[in-house]
C-alpha cells in the first residue's frame, strides 16, 4: 500500500476585530502564541516556544494534548519572508503528518490586511493529503476562536 500524495492547499480567510499590528504580534510574540495556538484540547507550553520573527528566522514550539500529555506535536518553521504587520512566509516541519516526508516540509503563508481597524487574515498552508485538509481547517478555526478571545481581552 502506498501513501497518498499530498496535493491539497488549505486556504482560510478570517476577519479579526483588531488592528493588524496586534494580530501580527499574536503570531510572532512567544507569550501570545502560547496563549492561543492549537485547537481546543491542545495547549502550547510557553517554555517550548522560540520565535525569531525575521526573514531567515525560525519558529519552534510543541503542541500538547490536554487529555493525554504524552501526545505531543513538535512544530518547527523556517521563515523565508517576514514583512512586519503584513506577511509571514515559511516552511514548516510537522512530525507525524500523513503525506509529509521528513524532508518535504509544508508551506505556510499568512497575510495581514487592514480592513478599517480590523484585520483580514489570509492563511495558505500545504500541501496536505485529501483526508487531512478538513482536520487542518478545523484545527486552525478552533485556534482562531482562541485568538479572537485573546485579542478582545
Predicted confidence at residue 2, as pLDDT, reads 40
Predicted confidence at residue 103, as pLDDT, reads 46
Share of the chain above pLDDT 70, in %: 89
**What digits encode the pLDDT tens for the residues 58-85?**
999 999 999 999 999 899 999 999 999 9
**What digits encode the pLDDT tens for the residues 103-122?**
457 899 999 999 999 999 99
Q: pTM for this one?
A: 0.89
The mean predicted confidence, pLDDT, of the chain is: 90
SS3 content of the chain, % helix, strand, coil (to 5): 25, 40, 30
Asked whether 121 and 24 are in contact (CB, 8 A), the reply is no
What does the alpha-carbon distance between residue 121 and residue 67 come to, in Å, rounded to a whole number? 30
Is domain 9-152 given the CATH code 3.30.530.20 in the classification? yes
What does the alpha-carbon distance between residue 103 and residue 134 come to, in Å, rounded to a whole number? 23
What does the alpha-carbon distance between residue 23 and residue 16 come to, in Å, rounded to a whole number? 8
Which set of grid coordinates corresponds to residue 142? 478552533
Q: Where residue 129 falls among pLDDT bands split at 50, 70, 90?
A: confident
Length of the chain in terms of residues written: 153
What does the alpha-carbon distance between residue 138 and residue 150 come to, in Å, rounded to a whole number? 19
Average pLDDT over residues 53-60: 97
Query: What is the H or E stretch that residue 83 is in?
Result: strand 72-83
Amino acid at each position: 500500500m502506498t501513501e497518498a500524495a499530498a496535493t491539497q492547499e488549505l486556504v482560510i480567510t478570517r476577519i479579526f476585530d483588531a488592528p493588524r499590528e496586534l494580530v501580527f504580534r499574536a503570531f510572532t510574540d512567544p507569550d501570545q502564541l502560547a496563549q492561543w495556538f492549537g485547537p481546543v484540547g491542545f495547549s502550547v507550553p510557553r517554555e517550548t516556544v522560540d520565535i525569531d520573527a525575521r526573514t531567515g528566522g525560525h519558529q519552534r514550539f510543541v503542541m500538547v494534548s490536554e487529555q493525554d500529555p504524552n501526545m505531543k506535536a513538535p512544530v518547527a518553521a523556517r521563515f523565508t519572508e517576514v514583512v512586519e504587520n503584513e506577511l509571514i512566509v515559511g516552511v514548516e516541519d510537522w512530525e507525524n503528518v500523513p503525506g509529509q516526508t521528513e524532508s518535504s516540509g509544508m508551506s505556510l503563508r499568512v497575510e495581514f490586511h487592514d480592513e478599517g481597524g480590523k484585520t483580514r487574515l489570509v492563511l495558505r498552508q500545504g500541501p496536505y493529503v485529501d483526508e487531512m485538509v478538513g482536520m487542518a481547517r478545523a484545527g486552525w478555526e478552533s485556534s482562531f476562536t482562541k485568538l479572537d478571545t485573546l485579542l478582545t481581552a
